[in-house]
A = this chain, B = another copy of it.
Amino acid sequence: MQKQDVLDCHERIIPYIHQTPLLRSRLVDKEIGTSVYFKCENFQKAGAYKIRGATNAILQLTDTQRKNGVVTHSSGNFAQAVSLAAKNLNIKAHIVMPSNAPEVKKIGVKEYEGLIYECAPTLEARQAMADKIKKDTGASFLHPSNDTNVIIGQGTAALELLKEIPDINAIFCPVGGGGLIAGSSLAAHYFGINCKVLGGEPFKADDAYRSLQSGKIEGNDSVNTIADGLKTTLGDKNFPIIKKYVNKIVRVTEEEIVAAMRLVWERMKIIIEPSSAVTVAALKRDAAENPQEYTGKKVGIIISGGNIDLNDLPF
């Protein structure tokens, strides 16, 4: 993946995405101790950055492949993103969702005309059903995070941030399946000026932190975190990029996640989902522990999304 691949991808997907705004807050800067730039992918189409990677991956399919549609499994934002990206390009989207997926996410998929297939809430059941659909229909399988085209697509949010603030000193991303942080770290490598990339992860699903320590992809024994988007683990396509280009992963407690979510909702008046709050909490923690690295600096945060069930809030 070269510099030009990222630029080409951005140009390719621009007609299908929003160029989301960068927001700032004096009060948040004061609370955290650095100048923070929020890249608001919660305002992105379908409510999250995932439309970027989904659109890029679908645009790379051949005409024959497009005729057969796409299939993915997701309990969350990627399901909505693939449905909308496919609808925008007039192709069929088969979406495998676990039976316990939040109702609000199912409604989102239906609104974008994705075809929902319910399965048991295990990764095995999801993969098995997606495999069957692929076999039956010839649909192309799209992985939410471990796919080169998806990774490059997700990195375009950081690319836009770097175009707007070229001298930004660091970018924070949440780490779930690893697609966003891998893509962002590529963008920072090619377009930043010594721009660090840091990840935020819940202590309760810290597989990426442990993977960087051990040097191999680790799993999670349990994932009892409010950050429902960050329960997945890294893949063989994104892990090498993360190893090479990500500077550090900062872990945070559930209490820190909820406090960060409240800070942003109250101070900035924008809805961010818990997975995005993880990233704010990680920046806050790292800035408190290493103030010398943040005072007078500019830090970007990829606010990954704003999809949350209002019936199930932590406050």
Taken together as a complex, chains A and B put the C-alpha atoms of A271 and B308 apart, in Å, by 13
Contact across chains for A310 and B47 when beta carbons are under 8 A apart = no
Contact across chains for B271 and A265 when beta carbons are under 8 A apart = yes
Taken together as a complex, chains A and B put the C-alpha atoms of A315 and B21 apart, in Å, by 28
Taken together as a complex, chains A and B put the C-alpha atoms of A268 and B23 apart, in Å, by 15
Return A148 CB to nearest CB of chain B, in Å.
29
Contact across chains for B266 and A269 when beta carbons are under 8 A apart = no
A315 with B311, Cβ < 8 A, contacts A270-B269, A271-B265 known: yes
A43 located at the interface, meaning its Cβ lies under 8 Å from any Cβ of chain B in the complex: yes
Q: Residue on B with the closest CB to A27?
A: B111
Q: Could you say which residues of chain B place their CB within 8 Å of the CB of A199?
A: none
Contact across chains for A265 and B310 when beta carbons are under 8 A apart = yes
Interface residues on A, range: 20 to 34
Q: Could you say which residues of chain B place their CB within 8 Å of the CB of A7?
A: none
Q: Could you say which residues of chain B place their CB within 8 Å of the CB of A271?
A: 265, 269-271
Binary per-residue interface labels of chain A (243-270) against chain B in the complex, 1 for a CB within 8 Å, 0 otherwise: 0000000000000000000100110111
Return A302 CB to nearest CB of chain B, in Å.
15
Return A293 CB to nearest CB of chain B, in Å.
27
A123 located at the interface, meaning its Cβ lies under 8 Å from any Cβ of chain B in the complex: no
Contact across chains for A262 and B21 when beta carbons are under 8 A apart = no
Contact across chains for B315 and A47 when beta carbons are under 8 A apart = no
A42 located at the interface, meaning its Cβ lies under 8 Å from any Cβ of chain B in the complex: yes
Contact across chains for B306 and A310 when beta carbons are under 8 A apart = no
Taken together as a complex, chains A and B put the C-alpha atoms of A40 and B4 apart, in Å, by 37
Return A313 CB to nearest CB of chain B, in Å.
7
A193 located at the interface, meaning its Cβ lies under 8 Å from any Cβ of chain B in the complex: no
Contact across chains for B269 and A104 when beta carbons are under 8 A apart = no
Q: Could you say which residues of chain B place their CB within 8 Å of the CB of A21?
A: 21
Q: Could you say which residues of chain B place their CB within 8 Å of the CB of A311?
A: 315
Q: Residue on B with the closest CB to A303?
A: B269
Contact across chains for A47 and B104 when beta carbons are under 8 A apart = no
A42 with B269, Cβ < 8 A, contacts A21-B21, A310-B315, A315-B310 known: yes
Binary per-residue interface labels of chain A (14-25) against chain B in the complex, 1 for a CB within 8 Å, 0 otherwise: 000000010100
Within 8 A of B (CB), among A42-94: 42-43, 47
Contact across chains for B43 and A306 when beta carbons are under 8 A apart = no
Taken together as a complex, chains A and B put the C-alpha atoms of A43 and B25 apart, in Å, by 9
Q: Could you say which residues of chain B place their CB within 8 Å of the CB of A43?
A: 23, 268-269
Return A20 CB to nearest CB of chain B, in Å.
10
Binary per-residue interface labels of chain A (282-315) against chain B in the complex, 1 for a CB within 8 Å, 0 otherwise: 0000000000000000000000001000110101
Within 8 A of B (CB), among A151-182: none
Within 8 A of B (CB), among A99-150: 104, 111
Q: Could you say which residues of chain B place their CB within 8 Å of the CB of A272?
A: 269
Shortest 3 CB-CB contacts between residues of A and residues of B: A269-B306, A269-B271, A42-B269
A and B contact pairs by CB, cutoff 8 A, 5 listed: A43-B268, A43-B269, A47-B269, A262-B310, A270-B270
